[in-house]
Homo-oligomer: A and B are copies of this chain.
């Protein structure tokens, strides 16, 4: 009983990474056709939560460089997904916000992601689902 998980190629870490790959692959399938990369979707979700972010904050959140973030925002701005504003308080900086178009898109994406998870947990009992979420929550909050 001291080694609870031994499948998927030899260790508990592989269990996590197998799950991670499956989630990743499923999301890719689901969002195909929405014309939005996974980092872009993460950004939209984060913007929905924080309402406005500077370019530096976006780069930090996505763990990419500022030039990369700048280019990404260029593309998203051209597609009408975000808006750049220069605040009067510091005219060097840029504030990025959602648009009505991206607000609608977020709802569509949230639905597709929810679908991935519901398939994933469909065969677990209510009790198992509750236990799993409690443990995942603990894991993430302590990280």
Contact = CB atoms under 8 A, between A and B. Distances in A.
A57 interface: no
Contact of A136 (B9, B15, B119): B15
A88 interface: no
B114 A16 contact: no
B12 A117 contact: yes
Interface string A1-36: 110110111011111111111111101110000000
Contact of A16 (B4, B13, B23): B23
Nearest to A16: B117
By secondary structure, the A interface counts as helix
A101 to B, nearest CB: 20
Interface in A78-132: 110, 113-114, 116-117, 119-121, 123-124, 126, 128-132
Q: How large is the interface on A (under 10, 10 to 19, 20 to 34, 35 or more residues)?
A: 35 or more
A63 interface: yes
Given A2-B126, A13-B116, A19-B20, 11 more contacts: A1-B130, A4-B133, A5-B137, A9-B48, A13-B110, A119-B143, A123-B142, A124-B142, A128-B135, A131-B131, A132-B139
Interface of A: 1-2, 4-5, 7-9, 11-25, 27-29, 42, 45, 48-49, 63, 110, 113-114, 116-117, 119-121, 123-124, 126, 128-143
